[in-house]
């Protein structure tokens, strides 16, 4: 295997492991490896200067045997069909693992949102939404935010879908602002879930989380609030990073102050007063207790896995560790809490949001957070029990549970015709 395995190679390799654990036949393996629907669309954009640029957009529905497809929309220059396929597959196992009635999907536009004006971003979002409209809807496929998109993107998507329908359809996307049918607690849900997953792992290992040192790669929607929640719970967050690089302070950073700094217009954490500058590569190799990769796929690979000194890797990002790296980390006794478990808080609360939208009846933030905690702790227990019983990694156990439930749904429904 190459040192830079693609996300799709990683996802298919992980599926192989789960299929082996479950003893599934070749036909079922092929069924689970193949997306049900893949759509590529042209997204023409009129730039503010009057010129026209045609972007590529994607939406992949990997599986809907357990319910409508669900998954985020990514705006990133490197997004392509294979990446979206991998991310959609991970969504299928994640939803099945945490027991919510969805299949997996993912979408994206190959564009760097940082290079677009707000008006251009709105036009890209609305055109992309109208291009994929034939296959999305509250009972078909429900998008959400991912890298490079946010609650404003979701508000524009919901508005575009509703304008075409002629009435308001809040349940078509999740991760919306609370003012237009979003859920309390959705904004911080993935990050809160990362914290619950980390604490479950530490508790099981008999380690007190108070005073535990943390490094977070990717100070975005997931990483930013994960750093803050971990800090607020008593951990010492010593390093965080973004696209430009990282900041380090052995005595601890103040994530809230860093978030405020970004909110007030800074485009990076680099250069924040009272911190030393480090690279993203250096951050991954810091001598900390907990490492939270919360940016992109494949950042821990064969070339650097041996240098990871953390005791726990808690995957806020999807697919940050390649299968080659998994082997090295396991050999070095680094406990990896896998993406489909560690970052499942986002889709869990997306599910709560969708349920609230369909019922037009909204819950308090405490209710949302309590349900999230119960769901994640139960998923962690199931995964760690299987891992112990079978002598396998948390990742293989998590994937085995998820894949097994999807295979079961296929068997129960039967094959049409
Ligand atoms: P985001 O766009 O809000 O943040 C991404 C962060 O990563 C930013 O700080 C960005 O500067 C940084 N980054 C970009 N390129 C980088 C690079 N090469 N090196 C280091 N940092 C880099 O995205 P997000 O929603 O926080 O998503 C982050 C990860 O979490 C993704 O893997 C995503 O699929 C996953 N995830 C997100 C959610 C969610 O609810 N948003 C849920 C589950 C999983």
What integer best gives the mean pLDDT of the chain?
97
Burial of 148 (0-12, 13-18, 19+ CB in 10 A): buried
Per-residue pLDDT at 2 exceeds 70: no
Q: Which of 98, 102, 146 to mutate to test the pocket of ligand 1 (most atoms within 8 A of CB)?
A: 146
Q: How do residues 282-338 score in pLDDT, each as one tens digit?
A: 999 999 999 999 999 999 999 999 999 999 999 999 999 999 999 999 999 999 999
Q: Is the pLDDT of residue 129 over 90?
A: yes
Q: Read off the pLDDT of each residue in 395-400 and give the average, rounded to a whole number.
A: 98
Is the model's pLDDT at 1 over the cut of 60? no
Span from the CA of 360 to the centroid of ligand 1 (angstroms): 30
Q: What is the pLDDT of residues 191-208, one digit of tens each?
A: 999 999 999 999 999 999
pLDDT in tens, 58-71: 999 999 999 999 99
SS (H, E, C) 275-290: CEEECHHHHHCCCCCE
Secondary structure of residue 237 in the 3-state scheme: strand
Q: Is the pTM of this model over 0.85?
A: yes
Residues 389 and 381 sit within 8 Å (Cβ to Cβ): no
Q: Atom 19 in ligand 1: which residue has the minimum CA distance?
A: 243
Ligand 1 atom nearest the C-alpha of 149 is 2
Six token digits for residue 171: 């349940």
CA distance to 159, 168, 182, 260, 400, per residue, from 179 (Å): 13, 13, 7, 22, 39
| Ligand 1 geometric centre to CA of 366 (Å) | 26
pLDDT one-digit tens code per residue, 305-316 = 999 999 999 999
3-state secondary structure of 52: strand
Measured in Å, residue 226 CA sits from the centre of ligand 1 at 12
Q: Residue 3 has what pLDDT? A: 47
Q: What separation in Å is there between the alpha carbon of 317 and the centre of ligand 1?
A: 6
| Confidence check: pLDDT of 359 > 60 | yes
**pLDDT per residue as tens digits for the range 24-43:** 999 999 999 999 999 999 99
| Nearest atom, ligand 1, residue 344 CA | 43
Q: What are the structural domains of the chain?
A: 35-171 (3.40.50.10860), 189-342 (3.40.50.720)
Residues in contact with ligand 1 by the CB-under-6-Å rule are 145-148, 190, 217-223, 241-243, 280, 294-296, 316-318, 343, 346
Tell which one of 70, 220, 348 to mutate to probe ligand 1, the residue whose CB is within 8 A of the most ligand atoms: 220
CB 226 within 8 A of CB 215: no
CA proximity to 324, closest of 308, 340, 309, 344: 308
pLDDT value of position 5: 86
């Amino acid at each position: 295997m190459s040192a830079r395995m693609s996300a799709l190679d990683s996802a298919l390799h992980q599926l192989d492991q789960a299929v082996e654990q479950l003893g599934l036949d070749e036909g079922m393996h092929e069924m689970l490896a193949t997306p049900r629907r893949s759509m590529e669309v042209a997204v023409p954009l009129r730039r503010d200067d009057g010129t026209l640029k045609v972007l590529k957009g994607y939406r992949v529905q990997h599986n809907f045997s357990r319910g409508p497809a669900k998954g985020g929309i990514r705006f990133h220059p490197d997004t392509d069909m294979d990446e979206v396929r991998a991310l959609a597959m991970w969504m299928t196992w994640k939803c099945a693992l945490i027991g919510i009635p969805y299949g997996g999907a993912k979408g994206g536009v190959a564009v760097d949102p940082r290079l677009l004006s707000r008006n251009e971003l709105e036009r890209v979002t609305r055109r992309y939404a109208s291009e994929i409209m034939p296959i999305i809807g509250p009972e078909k496929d429900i998008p959400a935010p991912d890298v490079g998109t946010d609650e404003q993107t979701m508000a524009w998507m919901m508005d575009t879908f509703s304008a075409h329908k002629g009435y308001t359809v809040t349940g078509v996307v999740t991760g919306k602002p609370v003012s237009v049918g979003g859920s309390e607690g959705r904004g911080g849900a993935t990050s809160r879930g990362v914290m619950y997953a980390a604490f479950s792992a530490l508790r099981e290992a008999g380690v007190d989380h108070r005073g535990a040192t943390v490094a977070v790669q990717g100070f975005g929607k997931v990483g930013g609030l994960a750093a803050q929640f971990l800090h607020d719970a008593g951990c010492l967050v010593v390093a965080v990073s973004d696209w430009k690089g990282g900041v380090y302070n052995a005595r601890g950073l103040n994530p809230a102050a860093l978030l405020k700094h970004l909110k007030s217009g800074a485009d990076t954490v680099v250069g924040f007063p009272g911190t030393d500058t480090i690279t993203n590569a250096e951050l991954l190799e810091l001598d900390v207790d907990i490492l939270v990769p919360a940016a992109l796929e494949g950042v821990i690979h064969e070339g650097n896995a041996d240098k990871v000194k953390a005791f726990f890797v808690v995957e806020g990002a999807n697919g940050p560790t390649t299968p080659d790296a998994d082997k090295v980390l396991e050999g070095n006794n680094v406990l990896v809490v896998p993406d489909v478990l560690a970052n499942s808080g986002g889709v869990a609360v997306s599910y709560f949001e969708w349920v609230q939208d369909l019922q037009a009846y909204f819950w308090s933030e405490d209710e949302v957070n309590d349900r999230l905690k119960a769901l994640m702790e139960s998923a962690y227990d199931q995964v760690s029990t299987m891992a112990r019983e079978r002598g396998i990694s948390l990742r293989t156990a998590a994937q085995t549970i998820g894949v097994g439930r999807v295979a079961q749904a296929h068997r129960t429904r039967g094959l049409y015709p």
